[in-house]
A and B are shown apart, each in its own frame.
Chain A
Amino acid sequence: AQSVAQPEDQVNVAEGNPLTVKCTYSVSGNPYLFWYVQYPNRGLQFLLKYITGDNLVKGSYGFEAEFNKSQTSFHLKKPSALVSDSALYFCAVRVSTDSWGKLQFGAGTQVVVTP
């Protein structure tokens, strides 16, 4: 069975500081990994995904994520956080061997960026 864990319920960071949101996964096969962001009363917005190739993936709004196979992690990063980055972030995983495979989401990490 596939699963994804986001070990931090909330991350607090000052504006201008680096932001990291952690994600680890467990799958029996090659993972496809996704990050989404959710603003209040809005649906999920796609940020980036890792399918194959370069372990560093660049996405929307200055975010990037690094795939680490040995540590089964896919942490989301932004070099300089903005107050507008305050939102709920979800990591999700799908197994490559199952083309109908459902997207398994983590519980989410609330990011709070203070001015």
Chain B
Amino acid sequence: EAGVAQSPRYKIIEKRQSVAFWCNPISGHATLYWYQQILGQGPKLLIQFQNNGVVDDSQLPKDRFSAERLKGVDSTLKIQPAKLEDSAVYLCASSGRRTSGTETQYFGPGTRLLVL
């Protein structure tokens, strides 16, 4: 079974530029998550999708971050404009059909973003 795919793996941009990350979850997984992992910290949830609907985006900085999952499969996370503090690893994860929160999340390799 193929895992969660993410691209690009690395990205370097200047502040105020825009950037987009792509994620393809495990086939059949209804729930998709985007996390931000700043160096020295644990991952922090940015947004959670159930199929193509958002169920939690309470920690997404909506003035600069946006995400979509139009067909309920792959997803794109965008930052526009980027700030220095956005330098982090962006992790995508997916899990099977929602039950009662017991499902395991499976993570992709992440995209390492450096904002100069």
Contacts and interface: CB of A to CB of B under 8 A. Distances in A.
Interface of B: 4, 6, 40-45, 48, 50, 55-56, 91, 93, 98-102, 104-110, 112
Given A32-B102, A43-B4, A43-B109, A100 B48 contact: yes
Contact of A105 (B40, B42, B48, B110): B42
B42 A107 contact: yes
B115 to A, nearest CB: 19
Interface string A37-51: 000011111100101
Residue from B56, B101, B102, B112 with most neighbouring chain A CB atoms (10 Å): B101
Interface string A94-105: 111011111101
A85 B42 CA distance: 19
Interface string A7-40: 0000000000000000000000000101010000
25 contacts: A32-B101, A34-B104, A41-B112, A42-B109, A43-B4, A43-B91, A44-B43, A44-B91, A45-B107, A46-B104, A49-B104, A94-B101, A96-B102, A99-B98, A99-B101, A100-B55, A100-B98, A100-B101, A102-B45, A102-B56, A103-B45, A105-B42, A105-B44, A106-B42, A107-B42
Interface of A: 32, 34, 36, 41-46, 49, 51, 90, 92, 94-96, 98-103, 105-108
Given A44-B91, A99-B98, A100-B48, A107 B41 contact: yes
A49 B99 CA distance: 15
B101 A101 contact: yes
A99 B30 CA distance: 14
Contacts of B102: 32, 49, 51, 96
